[in-house]
Amino acid sequence: MNKEHIISDEILDKAHVALLKGETWMAYNNALYFIEPHDVLFFKTKQEAKEFCQDNISDQDSFSIMHFQFLSDIIKQFPYGEAIEKSNIDSNGLYNKDGNPFTDALIEHFEKQQISNNKNEQVMNEQNLQYLKDNIKYLGFAEKLCPELEKNIEQGLPEFQLRISTEFHNDKIGAELHFKKSETNDMYFLNRYDATLRKPDGKELSQPFYLNKGNGITIKEAYNLLNGRAVNKDLTNKQGEKFNAWIQLDLTHKNDKGCYEQQQFHKNYGYDLEQSLSKFSIKELNDVQQKDALLKSLQKGNLQSVTFELNGKEQNMFIAANPKLKTINVYDSSMKLQQHDSLKKNEGKEQLTDREEKKGVEQKTKDKSEGKKQEINLSNKKGKVVKMNSENSLLPKKRTSTSKGLHPS
């Protein structure tokens, strides 16, 4: 962490709720100087936090992660520097890196609450609201939904929907998020959202995406799926067991519910993305970090720009994973699908070798045929009949005649 930040008071309240849920990894927007609650998210594992940061990089946002076990860890890890010290830090003890009685008392209070795990109704409601806000942000939806979400929950509605739209590469995709209240308590759940992709030519494709505890297909992944590409996901079966699979929508067929059939390609199917990439001369594969980023991007179903090295020249193209055919799709700058044969490593040399070998076989066959013709011509010479002996040599056969006269003994 090499930037200075000021954190709002509410972040510690939010962190306290996260600790109650066992979420000890915090992702925060490192591009901001003053960090507010909607600029942070909490996760149970480091990997989840890192994936969120990688998925939400933009021109305005850049996320970093932080691990903490106590609220004091958050305060200590933020690099308070000269810029903060020049501000009016005494107005709020939370900004005083050296601490004061107010800061110490507040931290002690929260830590005692953490240990006792006193979950009253207010904490549970706040936790539920924050949990849903985190779900929305994790799935790639904007923060502007949060006020409307809070308003609907405060009204105690049994169920409600929130709508939002965004754009990817000149394509518009809208989503309707479905929230439902539990029948046994005041908790709300986000069970699914319906995505609709609108292409520039007016074509529309829609599909519902179901969520498991708020996790599932992100809006960017939904966009990729509705464009026919495949996405690699960690899924959970009905028995609660986790497994990994590539999923892809069959956009040529809908079931009786009007949804596109979802195809799954599990590990046993035998698709190895990295091995498929290795068959091509792609420049980004030569760098460990670029290769790792490329694999992760393709696993999310993205259409990724890469550099092909062909005949000593570099050529920019686009690729996408194709688990069904156990390969990758390659497109030129006009998004025209390319033939694989001319793009694979040493393919031209291999094709030349194949042609030469075929030509050699044809020549041998021709020579053998010519040899047989010569034997036949020799055997048909006037007055002679020949046959092959065991030594493969030609010997004249004795002449025979039906005319009268002496015959050799």
Give the model confidence (pLDDT) of 64-83 as tens digits. 899 998 887 887 776 543 33
Q: Would you say residue 338 lies in a domain?
A: yes
pLDDT digit string, tens, across residues 98-142: 555 555 555 565 555 555 444 456 677 788 898 999 899 889 987
pLDDT score for 403: 42
If one compares 95 and 152, the residue with the highest pLDDT of the two is: 152
CA 182 and chain centroid, separation:
33
pLDDT bin (cut points 50, 70, 90) of residue 405 is: very low
Domain count, the chain: 2
Q: What percent of the chain has pLDDT over 70?
A: 71
On the question of pLDDT at 296 being above 90, the answer is yes
CA gap 181, 179 in Å, rounded: 7
On the question of pLDDT at 379 being above 60, the answer is no
pLDDT digit string, tens, across residues 144-180: 899 999 999 999 999 999 999 998 888 999 999 999 9
Q: Would you say residue 218 lies in a domain?
A: no
Element (H, E) at 310: strand 304-310
Q: Would you say residue 405 lies in a domain?
A: no
Element (H, E) at 16: helix 9-20
Q: Between the CA of residue 318 and those of 201, 274, 307, 384, what are the distances in Å?
A: 22, 16, 8, 73
On the question of pLDDT at 202 being above 60, the answer is yes
Q: Which of 301, 318, 348 is the last residue of a domain?
A: 348
What is the DSSP pairing of strand 304-310 with strand 313-322? Answer: antiparallel
Q: Would you say residue 287 lies in a domain?
A: yes
pLDDT score for 389: 47
Burial tier of 408 (Cβ tally within 10 Å: 0-12, 13-18, 19+): exposed
Q: Would you say residue 292 lies in a domain?
A: yes
pTM comes to 0.60
pLDDT score for 7: 74
Q: Which of 43-52, 159-168, 170-179, 386-395 has the lowest mean pLDDT?
A: 386-395
Q: Which of 28-37, 158-167, 243-252 has the lowest mean pLDDT?
A: 28-37
pLDDT score for 21: 82
Q: Which of 348, 364, 380 is the last residue of a domain?
A: 348
Q: Comparing C-alpha atoms, which of 287, 132, 123, 142 is closest to residue 215?
A: 132
pLDDT score for 246: 97
Q: Would you say residue 186 lies in a domain?
A: no
pLDDT score for 349: 45
pLDDT score for 62: 79
pLDDT digit string, tens, across residues 267-294: 999 999 999 999 999 999 999 999 999 9
CA gap 312, 160 in Å, rounded: 59
Domain range for 280 is: 273-348
Q: Which of 348, 369, 399 is the last residue of a domain?
A: 348
pLDDT score for 371: 57
Count how many Cα atoms sit within 13 Å of the Cα of residue 176 in the half-sphere of its side chain.
8
